[in-house]
Amino acid sequence: MSLLSREKVAEGLRAAALRLALALVCALAPVAADAEEDPIATERSLIDVIQAGRVEERKAEGGKEKAEEERPTEKPETGTAEQPEQGAVENPPGTAGTDQPRSWAILPQVGFTPEKGANGGVKFKDRDVTSLHLTLDLAASAAIKGQYHLDTVLISPSFFTDRLLLLAEGEYYSDPTKEFFGLGNNDVGPDELSTNRYERINGTLALGLRLSRRFAMVASGEFVDIEISRGHLEGSTPSTTSRFPDMAGIDGGRTNRLALSLLYNDREDVARPTRGWNIIAKASWVPHGLGNDFDYTRYTLDASYLYPLIWRRQVLGLHLGGQYIDSKRRQTPFYELASLGGDRDLRGFFEDRFLGSSNVITNVEYRLKLIDFHFIWDVQIDGVVFGDAGRVFYSDGDIASELGQPVATIPPTNNDFRYSYGGGTRIALGEALVARIDVGFSDEEKGLVYLVFGHTF
């Protein structure tokens, strides 16, 4: 086979691989759980920008070193111009830098699921907006059964000075059939106890201070308005508002949160990191003094480590996380409790399957690079297998108090850890966007599919 023929075959295979990757994303996107409220979502976004900035700094330093090495030691004679080497071709005007990774990416979401019906959306991210090099992250989706999600995040990586970062976010999410499985580490699944309409509007403003190349401190404020109502009932499933009318937070409420976080990250890549730590420690306060309907404090710790096996095509990832909520009885609404289940922790269980006053979660992932090529973007595709284990903590007496019902009427809890496992893929488009597709299995559900953007940890 001639060299030209081999190149055509290789190009055809790369194009086919990209079409397959995009087809997988489009087909599986409707099961995405990216509207789930993440208590450290702000910190994840800032770490992502800090990490990207550190990568750019390293590239710039490498470029300077290379330029110094290639700088001629002798100046050309006066009146003569340096000529390019024989056979060299200069870049035509406007083509310089075309081999650089694109700073933006966009992916569609189209499909059908029983929970949402026909649905679709779009995800867009650009790390280099305007001359200020802002990061813009947009997500929008809608479903025929009434689920809507809009999210806009804007980050300034150098707010007046290189040491300051500013994040602003606005989000709206609505689900007329939000499932409720009760409180505590119970065995009521896979069928929910009730459903309700869940509607959330929130806005966040955060200021980060880079203490060093790897450490940062973040102060943030967030306004959240949540409404719980009867919703659209299907079949014989009752409404949460009628089955648990005295539960703490059954009508929703407003919270004004203040938070302080410490971040540590020493990873050297954004699209496909292969080594290093990512640690987030956060405390957030919701006091009555700020006009809140509730009063509680949440402590969150999230730590993960990536390690390359033999060579960097194989990566082992380990993660440990947990939350603890400090409050008096009936001062934490049920939808703000520490939760497990969904795309970031117990994949293979429905979102918010377990709710408690605290939780613990551990995950392990093995990632293997399958293919990388260039077609519009620099595309990297990894295969992944994973295992998850975790549980929530809540005493039966506290659960009865939160539900406003006698202990004898609530689902019993146990001390067992919950486990899930599965596999998936990671599709990185340039250095802008990573699409994560996971298929999770557990003793309650077989083959739950998730599409989320960004790495698990």
**pLDDT the model gives residue 270:** 85
Instruction: Tell whether 274 is covered by a domain.
Output: yes
Which of these, 411, 457, 417, lies nearest to 434 by C-alpha position? 457
- The pLDDT assigned to 66 comes to 55
CATH of the domain at 209: 2.40.160.50
Burial code of 208-217, b = ≥16 C-beta within 10 A, e = fewer? bebeeebebe
**Domain for residue 74, yes or no?**
no
77 belongs to a structural domain: no
d(CA 354, CA 333): 14
Provide the pLDDT for residue 119: 81
pLDDT at 36: 67
Tokens at 192, concatenated: 């929910």
pLDDT of residue 1: 52
Flag whether 67 is in a domain: no
Asked if residue 149 belongs to a domain, the reply is yes
b or e along 25-39 (b: 16 or more beta carbons within 10 Å of the residue's beta carbon)? Answer: bbbbbbbbbbbbbbb
Say how many domains are in the chain: 1
* Assigned domain for 297 exists: yes
The answer to the question of residue 308 being in a domain is: yes
Please report, in tens digits, the pLDDT of each residue of the chain (457 residues total). 554 455 554 455 444 444 444 444 444 433 444 466 889 999 999 999 998 888 777 777 766 555 565 555 544 444 444 444 333 433 443 333 445 567 888 888 776 666 677 888 999 999 889 888 899 999 999 998 899 999 999 999 999 999 999 999 999 999 999 999 999 999 998 999 999 999 999 999 999 999 999 999 999 999 999 999 998 887 889 999 999 999 999 999 999 999 999 999 999 888 889 999 999 999 999 999 898 999 999 999 999 999 999 888 999 999 999 999 999 989 999 999 999 999 989 999 999 999 999 999 999 999 999 999 887 788 999 999 999 999 999 999 999 999 999 998 899 999 999 999 999 999 998 877 888 999 999 999 988 888 888 888 8
pTM over cut 0.95: no
pLDDT value, residue 71: 59
Residue 83 belongs to some domain of the structure: no
Range of the domain at 35: 3-59+102-453
Where do we find the tokens 């549980």? 391
